[in-house]
Amino acid sequence: MEIPHTVEPREDTGLYNAKVGVWLFLASEVMLFGALFSSYILLRVGADPGTWPRHWLDYKLGAVNTIVLIISSVTNVIAWANLKMGSFRKYRNYQALTILCALVFLGIKSGEYYGKFHHYTIRLTDGRIADGHLQKNETTKDKVVIEGWWREGEAAVMDPPANVEEKKIEIERGKIADMRNYGPSRNNFAGLYFTMTGLHVLHVIGGILVIFAIWGPLNGMWKSDPRRYTNRVEVAGLFWSFVDLVWLFIFPTFYLL
């Protein structure tokens, strides 16, 4: 028995099943990310002045990622439009660009995460604070070598000054009072940054796996049932546009404000 309205829309709503389903799913995703955003807002407005980090993230990399996701959304929609007009070849080309953009996004994000895990704030026993990226090749059991800056107090750690030249700093391990990286356990900002961008990355991976599966191994349906295949591409595209939409809020929240 065939399930009705997988291709032909219902007379009362004018929608086919998958479209209703994906919009309901996206509504639940709004609440998921919304809960995290509201947590961020509550923690941010509740933080004492000068204790909430600013300018910890490279906004230029974030902007590149934003443009990459925008391009991927455009190519995704154009791919679907070409499929609606019956051009499978053009659909494949544009959807390949979508997949490529997603991989670029993931690559840049991986680089950002790597940088954060290798970026340390070192508090010395004499009260000085050093901040920079660990130079693993030069670090030994006796000394830690970073490429970074000396910070003038906690305020400069929370809101680092811009355009200060990095220099190599060698610190004997015996003089280190505390050493911690910019990972998720650092503070609430870092915890929320990794949680929200990590959840977003999982959505990017999930979305691109679905888009790739429909583009690649499952594209035989284009020959057997082209309208149903086009609908699959459309609902996957709706999810992909939502992933882009969430990033449009994550970028200014974490990278700019």
Partner 1 sequence: MRRHLLIAVALAAGTVTTIWTSQTDFGSFSLNVAMTLGIAGAQAVMVAAFFMHLLSEKKMICCLLVFTAFFFVMMMGLTLLARLPANVVHYK
174-200 as b/e: b if 16+ CB within 10 A? eebeebebbbbebbbbbebbbebbebb
User: Smallest distance from the beta carbon of 130 to partner 1, in angstroms?
Assistant: 27
Question: Counting contacts by CB under 8 A, is residue 25 touching partner 1?
Answer: no
Among the listed residues 77, 96, 97, 179, the single contact to partner 1 using CB under 8 A: 77
Instruction: Return the closest-CA partner of residue 132 out of 63, 182, 196.
Output: 182
Residue 245 binding partner 1, by CB under 8 A: yes
Of positions 4, 21, 38, 111, contacts partner 1 by CB under 8 A = 38
Considering beta carbons, is residue 20 or 156 the nearer one to partner 1? Answer: 20
Question: Between 87 and 139, whose beta carbon lies closer to partner 1?
Answer: 87
**Single residue of 7, 20, 108, 210 touching partner 1 by CB under 8 A:** 20
**Among positions 34, 50, 153, 161, the unique one binding partner 1 when judged by CB under 8 A:** 34
Strands (E), the chain: 119-124, 129-134, 143-151, 167-172, 176-181
Distance between CA atoms of 239 and 7, rounded to whole angstroms?
19
Q: Nearest to residue 249, comparing CAs of 26, 22, 37, 24?
A: 37
- Binding pattern for the stretch 142-161 against partner 1, x by CB under 8 A and - elsewhere: --------------------
